[in-house]
Amino acid sequence: MWDTINADPETVTRLHESYLESLEPARERLRGRIAGVAGVQLDGSIESLVPLNAWFMDEILETPDKPGLSLPSWWDPAMPTAETGDPETYPFTRSQLELIDEVQAYYAEVLQKVRPDAPWVIYKRGKRNINNGRSMLKLAKDHFLAPRTVVYGVALGSVLYNQPSPVDVLATVARDIQLEGR
């Protein structure tokens, strides 16, 4: 991922804009990938996240490597992937990063539906905060969420730690966010 903690403000702004522009194309790729998968319907509802999450945890383990794929906007191309670096440090292939990108983009869509009042912001807190410069949804004064981080964590559990998350984890977080907004 990009080092946004130490990046200059212009770079952070460019990365933020690039990330936001990449969301819709990633959602469209996911819809194409999901077409015909039994039991998974991307209707923008919280309920759609449970079968999507179950499918995702299986798919992330079975995604075949496709050489030459471009990397998601949030991944620094200078950083290795599992094909070129230590899989213990960089556990995902380009194909897996593409899948993570697609699922996190859809997850962001659902979160924005349940919390239309939550704007996208560039996170800014303390100079050493690991989230500085990242694109996040601002849910409340001091509550921010990066959909990518949640989905990336689900993928890490399956791929690196062999500890799949509960299939309702994405839906549970979305429900909690929805309740906070009431």
Q: Whole-prediction pTM value? A: 0.94
Give residue-wise pLDDT tens across range 94-136: 999 999 999 999 999 999 999 999 999 999 987 788 899 999 9
143: left (phi over 0), alpha (psi -120 to 50) or beta: beta
d(CA 149, CA 135): 10
* Residues 42-58, mean pLDDT to the nearest whole number: 96
d(CA 172, CA 6): 33
d(CA 170, CA 167): 8
Identity of residue 71: L
Categorize the per-residue pLDDT at 164 as very low, low, confident or very high, splitting at 50, 70 and 90. Answer: confident
Identity of residue 1: M
Structure confidence at residue 151 (pLDDT): 97
In the chain, % of residues over pLDDT 70: 100
Give residue-wise pLDDT tens across range 28-38: 999 999 998 99
Question: Are the C-beta atoms of residues 100 and 72 closer than 8 Å to each other?
Answer: yes
